[in-house]
């Protein structure tokens, strides 16, 4: 599962698609955690798609991640600023790849 303390335990290494990326990042195998308010561990996401289907405000967008061992697309929280903290995505992700911090 995603580490809910990632902001303490990891370092921000850059930005992709308008969201922060928390390392370590070593493509194509290691892609880090993407997003902050809504965070997706790209190394755990296996492209189930429930988050995209169920998010009421369309926070997530598919992005290509060719040659990643789990899946070659991932759910990027491109519109995390729209999140209404309903926690649906956290509940439906089968591999607990998502952390939402209402802070
Ligand atoms: Fe969307 Fe709700 Fe998840 Fe926020 S908590 S990203 S609104 S499903
Ligand atoms: Fe990935 Fe979980 Fe969404 S596996 S596509 S973050 S439901």
Q: In what order do the strands lie in the sheet with 98-100?
A: 12-16, 19-22, 33-34, 38-41, 98-100
Decide: 75 in ligand 1 pocket, CB within 6 A. no
Q: Which ligand neighbours the alpha carbon of 55 most closely? A: 1
Q: Which ligand neighbours the alpha carbon of 38 most closely? A: 1
pLDDT, tens digit, 9 for 90 and up, residues 68-84: 999 999 999 999 999 99
Fold exhibited by the domain 6-100: Alpha-Beta Plaits (3.30.70)
Domain ranges of the chain: 6-100
- Rounded to whole angstroms, the Cα distance separating 102 from 31 reads 24
Mean of per-residue pLDDT scores for the chain: 97
Say what the ipTM of the complex is. Answer: 0.99
Ligand 1: centre distance to CA 38 (Å):
8
76-93 in b/e form (b: 16+ CB < 10 A) is bbbbbeebeeeebbbeeb
């Amino acid at each position: 599962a995603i580490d809910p303390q990632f902001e303490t335990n990891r370092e921000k290494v850059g930005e992709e698609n308008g969201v922060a990326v928390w390392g370590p990042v070593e493509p194509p195998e290691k892609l880090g955690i993407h997003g902050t308010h809504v965070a997706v561990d790209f190394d755990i996401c296996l492209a189930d798609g429930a988050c995209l289907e169920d998010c009421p405000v369309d926070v997530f967008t598919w992005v290509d991640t060719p040659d990643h061992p789990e899946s070659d697309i991932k759910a990027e929280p491109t519109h995390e600023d729209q999140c209404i903290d309903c926690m649906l995505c956290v509940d439906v992700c089968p591999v607990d790849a998502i952390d939402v911090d209402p802070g």
